[in-house]
Structure 1
């Protein structure tokens, strides 16, 4: 059952969420829209964008949907330009796009896959912000979606984890570079049963092993990740920048 959203912290604000037609990204886009934001959703395929727009519309939520493969320079620029054409500004950017093409040990990962992981999970976020930076308002907020795996890369998806570790450093570096006008923070979700993490729930024993690692003895939901992301993006977190919040049910991560 969906929780009732009482706060309207994003009235009059414009938010872009990448890779937001399903899973965690969709949950974040929905939460920001429910709190009053004009939200721009995106993903690589027009079909997915159209379906997500319709799904939100059925809930009384109206968003702008744009196709954007974050590794494509022209599509990144188009995402920013279309947002500015329609809304005239950008207040929030949630960089959620990521790939994990294979689950193999790092030393068995092909160079082309290493390149793809780096290009999509890290480099594209920087390039998107280069395009967006001139349009960001004073008081704007940027959120990177990292992962619990950034602290403890899993053996079969180690390079994916390392790219998520890089986002922790990128958060620190850009927070310093963009201060004091723009805040930059990061969210590190634990395992959430989405299509992206289908391998976790495909096998009941695997699912239970991940649940047992948490103190709450369950996996998270996109809505729970979205709630923490909305906090970081909002003025409720106005004295926070360069920080990462771990939302992983108490899975051991750091001191």
Structure 2
């Protein structure tokens, strides 16, 4: 009997036939890893496989990243040389004379049997995003920018004979606001805009830390909520740095 092989990744019918790999989560992973290394954090030995992570992401993706992360389609298609030996796929032998309806019914029965026998399949990949939740990319970028602003201010403080403890949250807030303002001007309001949480009090326009109201709660321009937001960004960013150092993202 002549048969053709079809590969099938367990999924729902509503998903599109193919799901292109979104590089942005891996870009964020890469950027957090770079910052963990710059801090001198001890990172997993497994990252040796990533090669030189001091270069730009796009260059690194071409040389390493694109070969490391598994791309699994969200639908059924003919098997290829790559998918025929990939543990993320099942290979079905389907007689060519079967009708589409019979093929669908038979495939569904077989998939149900395989799930009952083997349980829900998980992607077999060494490097993959954690399964608890897809990363909120805009939030990740905010955390990165907050960490960068804090790191730059810390470096300046050390140069001035001070320490990291001398860096004030209002200074980080001012630096973050300035970053978003300059970015909006450069890219003509395209891309991520200043988070609303950084605009409390004075609308996010003040970038001089000495002029941002932080203690007078009777002043309508008090920026307490924005200060709290910056503190939260740094806490969450540092948590992600620790996870990334261990080889986990997010």
TM-score, structure 2 length as denominator? 0.25
Instruction: State the structure with more CA Rg.
Output: 2
- Per chain length, whose mean CA-contact separation is higher, i.e. which structure has more relative contact order (CA < 8 Å, sep 6+)? 2
TM-score, structure 1 length as denominator? 0.24
